[in-house]
């Protein structure tokens, strides 16, 4: 049996590895458009900052034994009827590849704003290793100022990275505050930290055009007349790269991503999809969404790989868990925010709680702000957001919330979790639980002693 995989990033390689683990006799081939199988593109900001000078280190792994890698080949056509894929190398020479099971893991492409000037020299998206290789020498030629269009997590990481290099940064974002995946107040805290590091933040501002001006570039924005720069980075989100699939008659779903069931099967027999090109089952919303994240790609790929070789495993679902480090801050979220929960038909109530990462009497305690969202009808935990120092275990505390959400726990039930404690690393009630108690005591939900638990 031949298991063919289009795409050599997280989902594709995870699928290949899992198939190889479970079914050593299956022939596994990965068609990848570049020469960088399973590289950590999330690491590009650190390559560009100079913190990770050797790009080879960005490889999640370098060992692919038993997996055939067809490098620098782009899949150009899928024929589901005769189960073949056409792939072309960079010279345009094509091959036809037969499959018994196919995984489409073509990822995403950068979403470019509908403005003039995107094709000017010095304007870049940052999505692939090759994007990184184009930007780095340009930065090395003495770039002094950069405008970043987009204030999501990649925009923020790049702002941090460029400041690390001593470059002046202007960050233009359309949302009310940076990092629109968390609540506005947290975004404003991040903006404060950006400003302390000299980043000029223009939130609530849309880039309306780019033009060359002398030796530099100018970005016109809706809020300010212009922002000058030697280089412009566009980090305005991504779109699913689903064209190849749809041309082959594979049904699309949310935001034109490939429709999949929880086994990662598409509408076409023997054709799976996973990663940033595909829909994502949301465990709290209990429906498919488009929520491209590297962690999800790994999971979906692993499940697709398992099922392609005879498994019947379901994707357990995403909670949209994310974390980002910006200077000395870490900001994380999981589950639904208040307005998202409301849209989904819950009766959310959200409370802000502050606490310390460990007992304040032990030196070095750091404040953490937690927003916790629960459903007032059922008491169920719906989501959490946290912000604090990056060494305050924000990421792993968000993961405690994520584990609780995964199991549909009630907010109050978080107090039942037997979490670890020692004064230098926590509190008898961890901030996760203290936030839950704040929620319970806030009047979000009336406690009823008449209900046995």
Positions annotated as catalytic residues are 42
Looking only at the bridges linking them, the beta strands covering 67-70 and 27-31 are parallel
Print the SS3 string covering 85-99.
EEEEECCCCEEEEEC
Q: Which residues contact 65 (CB under 8 A, 6 or more apart)?
A: none
- Nearest-angstrom CA–CA distance, 172 and 205: 6
CB of 404 to its own copies, least distance (A): 6
DSSP string, 195-250: HHTT-EEE-S--EEEEEEETTEEEEEESSSS-EEESEEEE---EEE--HHHHHTTP
Complex with its own copies: residue 221 or 296, whichever CB lies closer: 296
Cβ–Cβ under 8 Å, residues 175 and 199: no
- C-beta separation of 407 from 209 below 8 A: no
Task: State the greatest distance between any 2 C-alpha atoms of the chain, in Å, as a whole number.
Answer: 75
- DSSP calls for 29-61: EEE-SSS-TTB-GGGHHHHHHTSS--GGGGBS-
- Residue 7's region, left for phi above 0, alpha for psi from -120 to 50, else beta, is left
């Amino acid at each position: 049996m031949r298991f063919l995989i289009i795409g050599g990033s997280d989902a594709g390689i995870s699928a290949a590895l899992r198939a190889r683990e479970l079914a050593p006799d299956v022939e596994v081939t990965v068609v990848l458009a570049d020469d960088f199988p399973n590289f950590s593109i999330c690491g590009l900001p650190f390559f560009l900052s100079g913190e990770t000078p050797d790009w080879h280190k960005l490889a999640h792994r370098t060992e692919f034994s038993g997996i055939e890698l067809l490098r620098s080949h782009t899949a150009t056509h899928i024929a589901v009827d005769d189960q073949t894929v056409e792939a072309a190398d960079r010279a345009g020479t094509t091959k036809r590849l037969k499959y018994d099971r196919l995984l489409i893991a073509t990822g995403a492409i950068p979403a470019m704003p509908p403005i003039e000037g995107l094709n000017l020299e010095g304007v870049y998206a940052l999505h692939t290793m090759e994007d990184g290789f184009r930007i780095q020498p340009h930065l090395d030629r003495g770039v002094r100022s950069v405008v970043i269009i987009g204030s999501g997590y990649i925009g923020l990481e790049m702002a941090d990275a460029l400041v690390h290099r001593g470059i002046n940064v202007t960050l233009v974002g359309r949302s009310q505050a940076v990092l629109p995946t968390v609540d506005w107040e947290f975004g404003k805290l991040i903006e404060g930290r950006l400003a302390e590091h000299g980043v000029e933040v223009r939130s609530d501002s849309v880039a309306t055009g780019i033009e060359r001006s002398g030796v530099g570039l100018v970005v016109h924005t809706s809020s300010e007349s212009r922002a000058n720069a030697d280089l412009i980075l566009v980090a305005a989100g991504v779109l699913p790269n689903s064209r190849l699939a749809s041309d082959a008659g594979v049904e699309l779903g949310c935001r034109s991503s490939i429709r999949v069931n929880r086994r990662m099967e598409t509408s076409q027999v023997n054709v799976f999809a996973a990663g940033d090109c595909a829909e994502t089952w949301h465990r709290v919303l209990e429906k498919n969404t488009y929520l491209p994240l590297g962690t999800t790609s790994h999971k979906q790929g692993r499940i697709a790989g398992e099922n392609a070789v005879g498994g019947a495993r379901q994707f357990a679902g995403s909670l949209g868990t994310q974390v980002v480090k910006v200077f000395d801050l870490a900001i994380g979220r999981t589950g639904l925010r208040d307005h998202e929960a409301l849209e989904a038909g819950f009766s959310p109530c959200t409370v802000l709680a502050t606490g310390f990462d460990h007992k304040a009497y032990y030196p070095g305690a750091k404040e953490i702000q937690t927003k916790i969202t629960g459903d007032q009808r059922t008491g169920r935990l719906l989501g959490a957001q946290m912000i604090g120092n990056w060494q305050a275990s924000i990421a792993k505390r968000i993961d405690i919330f994520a584990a609780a959400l995964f199991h549909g726990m009630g907010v109050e039930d978080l107090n039942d979790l037997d979490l670890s404690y020692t004064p230098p690393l926590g509190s008898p009630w961890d901030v996760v639980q203290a936030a839950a108690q704040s929620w319970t005591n806030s009047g979000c939900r009336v406690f009823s002693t008449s209900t046995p638990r």
